[in-house]
Amino acid sequence: MKRHAFVATLVACVLSLTPLTTSAAQDTTSKKPLIGAPTFSLLPGGLTTCAVSCDSGDSKTDFNARFQTVIPTATPWLAFVAGLQWGWADTSAHGPIGFFGGIVPIVPLNDLMDGWVSVSIDPLGVTTGPGGKGTNFVLEGAATLNLGAKMMKTVPFLGGFGAYFLVDQQLSRVPRDANGDKDYWNPALVWGAFFQIAPWP
């Protein structure tokens, strides 16, 4: 009798623990990976220099072909970015420029925008091509208007379409103004459209 009672108690314990084990397994599988799958985008547009202040006083805008990949993380507060841009349409435009660093989304503000607009602060390393001065630290303010995701999600290719506007301020080897003072507000403006090309939206 005691043996039957022991077996019954053991079975009851196992059955009572099974849902907990299953739930724990589900919790484990539902967690986001530390590093997510990258996305790749084309961003044709323009690059404007001397828009705010400049020794020459002349603002200049060139066509800018930009390609970038973004790697999400488990937290909505951080992603990684790397890419290249080049003003290849004009021989007097900027040469190849590489960039890499982080994207720090302003999550509460983005939540208020309900996915229509995304805003972030991006600390970047920016490397120019031959004749440049190596890699500089650039602080970027970024805003994207996610038109495709909100209005054309079911349309092939256009589901990953939108517009972007970047304000890039160089904070290392800061250029000097006409008075010889470091000019900490002489940003380059980068703007245009973006198209996610992989994974296909």
**pLDDT for position 56:** 65
pLDDT string in tens for the chain (201-residue length): 444 444 444 444 443 444 444 444 444 456 789 999 999 999 999 999 988 877 666 889 999 999 999 999 999 999 999 999 999 877 778 889 999 999 999 999 999 999 999 999 999 999 986 667 789 999 999 999 999 999 998 887 889 999 999 999 999 998 887 778 888 888 999 999 999 999 987
**pLDDT for position 130:** 65
Q: How far is CA 182 from the centre of its chain?
A: 29
Q: From 157, 148, 143, select the one nearest 190 (Cα to Cα).
A: 143
Q: From 123, 33, 32, select the one nearest 80 (Cα to Cα).
A: 123
**pLDDT for position 57:** 67
Question: The whole model's pTM is what?
Answer: 0.81
Alpha-carbon distances, residue 48 vs 68, 167, 173, 187 (angstroms): 19, 10, 20, 9
**pLDDT for position 113:** 96
